[in-house]
Amino acid sequence: MVRVSGPSSSIEPVAAAQRVAVVIPAKNESGRIAATVASAKTIPRVDLVLVVDDGSQDQTRPKAREAGAVVVRHSHNRGKAAAMETGAAIVAMRDVEGDPARLLLFLDADLGDSAGNAAPLIRPVADGEVDFTVAVLPPQIGAAGFGAVVRLARKGIAKATGFVARAPLSGQRCMTREAYEEATPLAHGWGVETAMTIDLLRKGFTVQEVECDLRHRPSGRTVRGLGHRMAQYRDVTLALTARGVKIAFNSFGHRLRRAARRGRPPLRPPGHEPA
**Crossing angle (nearest 10°) for helices 251-262 and 223-242:** 100
- State how far the Cα of 200 lies from the Cα of 202, in Å rounded to an integer: 5
DSSP three-state, residue 244: coil
Q: How far is CA 22 from CA 53, 143, 149, 170, 254, in A?
A: 14, 25, 26, 15, 37
- State how far the Cα of 188 lies from the Cα of 61, in Å rounded to an integer: 23
pLDDT band at 31 (very low <50, low <70, confident <90, very high): very high
- State how far the Cα of 161 lies from the Cα of 131, in Å rounded to an integer: 16
**Residue 6: DSSP 8-state:** -
pLDDT at position 135: 98
Q: Domain residue spans in the chain? A: 2-217
pLDDT at position 229: 78
Question: Which residues have CB under 8 Å from 241's CB, separation 6+?
Answer: none
- State how far the Cα of 182 lies from the Cα of 171, in Å rounded to an integer: 17
pLDDT at position 155: 96
Say if CB 256 and CB 237 are below 8 A apart. Answer: no
What are 228-239's pLDDT values in tens digits? 778 889 999 999
> Within 10 Å of residue 127's Cβ, how many Cβ atoms?
13
> Under CATH, to which class is 2-217 assigned?
alpha beta
What are 194-242's pLDDT values in tens digits? 999 999 999 999 999 999 999 987 665 554 556 777 888 999 999 999 9
What are 63-82's pLDDT values in tens digits? 999 999 999 999 999 999 99
What are 135-189's pLDDT values in tens digits? 999 986 655 555 889 999 999 999 999 999 999 999 999 999 999 999 999 998 8
- For 118-122, 150-154, 248-252, which range has the lowest pLDDT when averaged over its residues? 248-252
pLDDT band at 5 (very low <50, low <70, confident <90, very high): very low
